[in-house]
Structure 1
Amino acid sequence: MNEVKDWRTGQFTRNEASYYAFYENPWFILDTQRNTTDRTEMTFIGDMKYDFTDWLSASLKLGFTKYAYEYKEEHGGLSYAFELPNTYARIDEFNPSTYDAMLNSSRFNSDFIINIDKDLSESFSINANLGHNIRITDSKTINVEGLNLIIPDFYNVSTRTGELQGDEGRTDYRKVGVYGDLTFGFKDYLFLNATARNDWSSALPADNRSYFYPGAGISFVPTDAFEGLKGTLRYLKANVNWTKTGNDADPYVINQVFSAPTGFPYGSTTGLSLSGREPNPNLSPEFTTSLEAGIEFAFFKGDRLSGSITGYQTNTTDQIVPINTSTTSGATSILTNLGEVQNQGLEVDLNGTILKNEDFSWDLGVNYALNKSEVISLSDGVNEIEIGSPYVDGPGYGAVVVAKVGESYPLLKTTDYQRDELGRVIVGDDGDPLEASDLQIQGKTTPDYIVGLNTTLKYKGLSLYAVADYRTGHVYYNNIVDVLEFTGLTQHGVTAGRQAFVFPNSVYEDGSGGYVENNDRLTSGGGNSFWDVYGDTKSNYVSDASVLKLREISLSYSFDDAIVDKLGMQALSLGLYGRNLFMWRPADNVYTDPEFNYSSGNAVGFGTQSQTPPTRQYGLTLTAKF
């Protein structure tokens, strides 16, 4: 990268002659563009409790958060001092610009709870909570943008030519709920529990605004029931739970939203335009029903080895999902309730103290999470639905995430090559691979399982902590490589020296209905015309999303009591940390982090050029307790 650093005067790296013909030189971006963010947050938490008797009490818990956010973009202009003859393509010149955004939001939450905690006899006890919850949120945003700034290095929207662009938005949301929790205990080793809650949400239609969800469970502690079990086994608990949870939507998704775009409907005439998402006035809450069974255990004195094993099945019905639609309908998507998705899984968590004495200890933890998902049903008569894509026309572009009945969820489908029964690519008479007529399933975009490891080493007041995990069994579409292909900057695009070559792992028809291995048919070329067509087949940019990551390492020191007492504190510690430090990927993924997704919703499995690159983080922490 340092070889292209001189974008101002370099013979082959200046903007007029840069290899980055379709984009700005990265060093130009670094020197002329800045994004700054300023966040301020104030939080109040209050808790009041009144004991009527030793077994009856009432409490009120209040929380309020005020959040302010300011964001500013400063973009320097791009201009050319001269023109090169016979250039294939080049990014257009643009003038300096600036963009300012402000967000103010608040969140209020209150819980009023009446609690009963009473021993009914020597053997039986009861614990009950009856509560009322209120949650209110609001936010307001104002964004302004100034193009064609006229004063160099002065990024203020007032020093522009042309029309000031901007928008303003406000959201208000309220949810009210009542809930109850009842637990019967028998001799502190057998417990029966029941829960129930009803919410009323302002984000749902009036007819569907109220939704109810209950739960029940039982737990048994054999080591408390039978004292003879205790020895090497110090603790054992078994539990089975059935729960149902409800969820609403974001504010205003059931309403049509209008805006006034620049130049709509034409020229200087102003008009209102509908949003690209079609509202659903009949949207209902989504529900997840869960059945879970597990055990918790501890062995040896001081619980040197402990852990838990849990198996579960969840079924989500009427999931609130945005579905892409044909643009000929006048909308790009619709938010709707979608069928049923089932997840089955196993979670194992083990923690142990390997070494321990007065000054030193070494703790080690291992966890394993396995999940299998399946689409049970969609809308009536529908077998497959497009869930999302970074592109307005995902199927037309050639890469899309779908939900398909009977298959894992979510699935990635892309354009792909025609292949024989052994999976080899079929080429035509010109040696170029032939593309299949339909999008093909490449795999699911969520991992089969995740294995995690964490460890803590302590010596007196010094503590070293590290955590890593490995996830596998899923795939990832990398638009970044797709774009690099278009600009001729990929590794494999130059492996044949820009010359024609035999397409790897390919075959062609033998004229008798079979196929023979291709060793002699060269592609039609090895330059721009071939790789442009190659880029239309998006399976070329699907890679194994497996990854091993060192998530965090931290080193901290807790000062001893003598120093803390002199300072008038209860505790004081100082620490250093690093996050997202190292990553190991499969050989076919040489470009980026497979967790680098454009969306955190249902349409995971896409990485695009529009995202900020993944970053390492380093920090210093100071914790003081008074």
Structure 2
Amino acid sequence: MNETGYGDGGNNYLSSVRQWYNTSIDFQDLEDAYNITGRNTSWSIGGPKDLDVQFHDNPYFQRNKNYNSLNRDRFFGNFAISTDVAKWLNILGKGSVDYYTQLQEERIAVGSRRVANKKGQYSRYDKTFREVNLDLILNFKTDITENIKFYGLLGGNSRRSVKGTIFSATNGGLIVPEKYMLSNTISPINFPQEFLETIGTQSVYANATFNFKETYFLEGSYRVDQSSTLPKKNNTYTYPSITGTYIFSNHIDASWLSFGKLRLNYAETGNDAEFAVTQSTYDKFSNFGPDGIRFSDENNKSNADLKNELTKGYEAGIELKFLKNRIGLDFSYYKTNTTNQILSIETPSQTGYSRSWINAGDVENKGYELSLNVIPFKTKDFSWEARINWATNKNKVIDLGGAERFSIGSTQGIGYIAEVGKPIGQLIGRGYKYLDGQKVVKANGRYEVVNGATIGDVNPEWTGGINNILNYKNFTFNFLIDIKKGGDVYSLDQQYGHTTGIYQSTVGNNHLGNPVRNSIANGGGIIFDGVKANGTPNTTVVLADYDTYNAMPQERYVYDASYVKLREVGLSYKLPSKYLKNTFMNSVIFAVNGSNLWIISKNLPYADPEAGTSSGNLQGFQSGVLPTTKEYNFNLKVQF
């Protein structure tokens, strides 16, 4: 019902309802119209004499007639063989396989505005996937001396994956309505889109740990990876790590200190590229005209000189436990620098490409992580444990390979920017013009707009959570509060919803006590907060209509993405062991859980701040987002 996309027919139904719908529509009327006629009878028509659907299908027609299906046959499993060759040597061989075939079909009924001529469409997407992982590991364990123990491993890994896809669709519509097959096409189908992806990696790795008197620990690792997705000259890369640990509580005789540990770590981590981004590829398009065979090179320019990403990081931390483990504290500080990030960035169209693959400079992340475990109350039958965590991360672009700024991506005129000296995740768009901290209003009563302004930052100030666990005899009750402070999100739903006037915030009374939607002559209109160019307060009244809100800076629709959520609630009961005597069962636990039950506090209207249209290197955008899904489940766990 809420398909991805942003096109005709209201295929993304939530985009329609949140941004463009007619609020005077009675959905019962739409349902009755569909049930009576079985046709795409919609409110979105050309006029009294033109009943053709213009933009939005009848949602009940869309739900019942336009539908997708996905069928997958899957096989996966793993195995392991282990043998002790000697007292100090174990050999482990293990492997896993994941294989599936998948058919995804989309059906668009005749009469739907989803296709321009409203003659329907059928498409199918066939996919096969196979991945095989193999490991061979030598495990070593010995006592070098009475006080020094050694643990080590030497291993190798081979991973191979193959993915093949074929997409094809009817052309020009369906000959017979509701017969969904490629042969039911009005015009000959275009050439199917075929894709074959083969990826291989092979690795060698080693790890060694020295334990001195169960107090001092030194661990080191080294890994060599070779990846098929990188150019041959750059396809092998290495990354080491080393960790030192000191359990100082072994040297402190104090009843109040149960455990104390210091740790210091340095690690490097490598990462390869996506498939087929190092060599040019050519797309085959549908033929045009006699002998009109057409190929085109990629829109995203490949890069034959790509190198692996490399992250170097330091971490220092302390772990403490007090009063017979009733209080536990873990605190750490970290700093990482990621160099040669593999990014797809926007490129001027004059180059012949819309995007290009690059290795980008140096991005720094540093922050603190804190966790606190407390058991404030404990008796024979009852206990209460609270687990509190808090974390903050600050990132900054150190270098971009000589550039000062580039765009990672954009949507609806909002850019997602990396700029030297600033965090990745700056939102760039049409912003307010300010005078001494006040928004500037033009002579016509509308806001002065500054193009290319920094209007937001997606990075939160901090995140945290509180998990409470209460035990009473055989019952356990837990609930988790999840918190995020800061970070921004841009809502296209709010921008278009204000422009079209579908939100409650676009109505109400103005400074005169009259409805804002009245004409100015009838006492309506609105005065925007701000000052004129000369610094005096704005007093100009403007219409509260489409044109006024359409001229609003995009900064108006950037919101604080903070939230407080009741993330999880659970209740379980463990059956007393006396009921399991003389049975084959050792333990039986009944559990009921719920997730995403309540957004306790947020600033973004009508949507979950976590819901978004993107992730990874492009965040902080919302359009047609779904309501938060509450989940409930019941579990029965039996141990034998």
Same fold (TM over 0.5): yes
C-alpha distance in structure 1 between counterparts of 2:299 and 2:479, whole Å: 45
Match of 1:101 in 2: 125
1:522 aligns with 2:541: yes
Match of 1:86 in 2: none
1:531 aligns with 2:555: no
Task: Kindly report which structure 2 residues correspond to 1:306-325, keeping only aligned pairs within 5 A, or say none.
Answer: 306-325=328-347
1:534-576 alpha-carbon deviations (Å, 9 max, x no partner)? 3xx3212211111122222233344444565666344444433
- Is residue 77–residue 93 contact of structure 1 (8 Å, CA) maintained in 2? no
SS class of match (1:15): coil
Match of 1:363 in 2: 385
Task: Note closer, same or farther for the CA distance 1:485–1:168 as it changes in structure 2 (3 Å cut).
Answer: farther
1:325-375 alpha-carbon deviations (Å, 9 max, x no partner)? 122322111121111111111001112334444444332211001111111
SS class of match (1:389): strand
Task: Note closer, same or farther for the CA distance 1:18–1:546 as it changes in structure 2 (3 Å cut).
Answer: farther
- Is residue 413–residue 440 contact of structure 1 (8 Å, CA) maintained in 2? yes
- Is residue 446–residue 551 contact of structure 2 (8 Å, CA) maintained in 1? no
1:74-118 alpha-carbon deviations (Å, 9 max, x no partner)? 3334469xxxxxxxxx99672333333232212222221212211
The residue identity in structure 2 corresponding to 1:15 is S
Q: If the length of structure 1 is used for normalisation, what is the TM-score? A: 0.87
Deviation at 1:431, TM superposition (A): 1.7
SS class of match (1:7): helix
Match of 1:402 among 417, 433, 438: 417
1:162 aligns with 2:195: no
- Is residue 44–residue 56 contact of structure 2 (8 Å, CA) maintained in 1? no
Match of 1:394 in 2: none
Match of 1:497 in 2: 517
C-alpha distance in structure 2 between counterparts of 1:467 and 1:53, whole Å: 48
Q: If the length of structure 2 is used for normalisation, what is the TM-score? A: 0.85
Q: Please, what is the CA RMSD of the aligned residues?
A: 2.9
- Is residue 414–residue 427 contact of structure 2 (8 Å, CA) maintained in 1? yes
SS class of match (2:434): coil
Deviation at 1:21, TM superposition (A): 6.7
- Is residue 43–residue 58 contact of structure 2 (8 Å, CA) maintained in 1? no
1:220 aligns with 2:254: no
The residue identity in structure 1 corresponding to 2:98 is T
Task: Note closer, same or farther for the CA distance 1:368–1:432 as it changes in structure 2 (3 Å cut).
Answer: same
Stretch moving more, 490-499 or 209-218? 490-499
Match of 1:479 in 2: 492
C-alpha distance in structure 2 between counterparts of 1:108 and 1:572, whole Å: 36
Match of 2:292 in 1: 269
- Is residue 442–residue 539 contact of structure 1 (8 Å, CA) maintained in 2? yes
Match of 1:299 in 2: 322
Structure 1 unmatched ranges of 5 or more: 81-89, 391-396
1:280 aligns with 2:280: no
SS class of match (2:62): helix
1:237 aligns with 2:261: yes
SS class of match (1:111): strand
Deviation at 1:620, TM superposition (A): 3.4
Match of 1:32 among 58, 65, 71: 65
Match of 1:347 in 2: 369
Task: Note closer, same or farther for the CA distance 1:76–1:330 as it changes in structure 2 (3 Å cut).
Answer: same
SS class of match (1:272): strand
SS class of match (2:350): helix
Task: Note closer, same or farther for the CA distance 1:118–1:577 as it changes in structure 2 (3 Å cut).
Answer: same
C-alpha distance in structure 1 between counterparts of 2:60 and 2:301, whole Å: 42
Match of 1:145 in 2: 169
Match of 2:213 in 1: 187
Match of 2:405 among 371, 381, 384: 384
Higher relative CO (Cα under 8 Å, sequence separation at least 6) belongs to 2
Match of 1:84 in 2: none
SS class of match (2:549): helix
1:542 aligns with 2:558: yes
Task: Note closer, same or farther for the CA distance 1:265–1:96 as it changes in structure 2 (3 Å cut).
Answer: closer
Match of 1:445 in 2: 458
Provide the aligned length of Structure 1 versus Structure 2.
593
- Is residue 70–residue 100 contact of structure 1 (8 Å, CA) maintained in 2? yes
Task: Note closer, same or farther for the CA distance 1:542–1:139 as it changes in structure 2 (3 Å cut).
Answer: same
Task: Note closer, same or farther for the CA distance 1:558–1:379 as it changes in structure 2 (3 Å cut).
Answer: same
Deviation at 1:291, TM superposition (A): 0.5
SS class of match (1:256): coil
- Is residue 49–residue 58 contact of structure 1 (8 Å, CA) maintained in 2? yes
C-alpha distance in structure 2 between counterparts of 1:404 and 1:481, whole Å: 27
C-alpha distance in structure 2 between counterparts of 1:593 and 1:465, whole Å: 23
Structure 2 unmatched ranges of 5 or more: 1-22, 35-39, 47-52, 509-515
SS class of match (1:108): strand
- Is residue 101–residue 141 contact of structure 1 (8 Å, CA) maintained in 2? yes
The residue identity in structure 2 corresponding to 1:123 is N
C-alpha distance in structure 2 between counterparts of 1:178 and 1:6, whole Å: 66
SS class of match (2:174): coil
Deviation at 1:451, TM superposition (A): 1.1
SS class of match (1:506): coil
Match of 1:419 in 2: 434
The residue identity in structure 1 corresponding to 2:42 is N
Stretch moving more, 166-175 or 151-160? 151-160
Match of 1:199 among 212, 225, 243: 225
Stretch moving more, 149-158 or 460-469? 149-158
1:598 aligns with 2:613: yes
